[in-house]
Homo-oligomer: A and B are copies of this chain.
Amino acid sequence: AARAMAAWARAVRGLLLDVSGVLYDSGGDGGVPIAGSVEAVRRIKASGLKLRFCTNETQATREKFVKKLQGLGFDISVAEVTAPAPAACRILKERSLRPHLLVHNDLVPEFSEIDKTNPNCVVIGDAAENFTYANLNEAFRVLIGMEKPVLISLGRGRYYKETDGLKLDVGAYMKALEYACDVQAEVVGKPSKMFFESALAEMGVPPEQAIMIGDDIESDVGGAQRCGMRALQVRTGKYRPCDENHPHVKPDAYVNNLAEAVDIILQQL
């Protein structure tokens, strides 16, 4: 990996880090940091590189999410996080959309400013335990009742890893509603190009000087590369060996974990 990266890692001025599966493994117990990641974030900050956390996390408000990560030892603040819910709120306001929400209870406060009466769209996030049969039927009925159904999905991930095993992500439920209503969801969050571009703009770094580091071959690596960034896949989180034979996406390099990525990148500076 080091040799492959040497040529281009020198130009890097900013890093985008996925969070779940890169910094920590999430779980009902709050999750556990991935070995070396707490120290790796500190080293990035000390190096002078720009840094932005780019997550599809929608199980909590950014405030709560950041507090959890701080509790695990990470040097992270709300202002450093790019997440789908605030991006969705901008879209809802721009287009006068009133959402029916199928999201995690802890995400609801992100939509406190949004009119939710008489819904004219459905917003779906990783609702986890809220993905009940009754709630899915309800969201479906709202959608199928519209003349032109509008479905906004906070990410399109297939699955993710928690401490007690793999879990279906929002993308799977998005597909269920897309199929039932014969509609195509608008995806906010990774791998949407607009989402990566806003993270880059917030960091003030052009794509060719940025590296995305993630565990999701499609949402993280594929999405970032389509924006003109380099992208590394870590062999932590939801990484599976068969990702290395992905039919369409090839990371610019593989690293065992975030700590190794930071080692290699900082050596080039």
Q: Which residues of A contact B (CB under 8 A)?
A: 128-133, 136-137, 140-141, 144, 158-159, 165-169, 171-173, 175-182
Minimum distance in angstroms from A54 CB to a CB of chain B: 22
18 contacts between A and B (CB under 8 A): A128-B133, A130-B133, A131-B133, A132-B133, A133-B168, A136-B172, A137-B165, A144-B159, A158-B179, A158-B182, A168-B180, A171-B179, A171-B180, A172-B176, A172-B177, A172-B180, A175-B175, A175-B176
Q: Which residues of B contact A140 (CB under 8 A)?
A: 159, 166, 168, 172
What 10 new A-B contacts, CB under 8 Å, besides A131-B136, A136-B168?
A128-B133, A132-B133, A137-B165, A137-B167, A141-B165, A144-B159, A158-B180, A169-B180, A171-B179, A175-B176
What number of copies of this chain does the assembly contain?
Answer: 2
Minimum distance in angstroms from A99 CB to a CB of chain B: 19
Q: Which residues of B contact A136 (CB under 8 A)?
A: 131, 168, 172
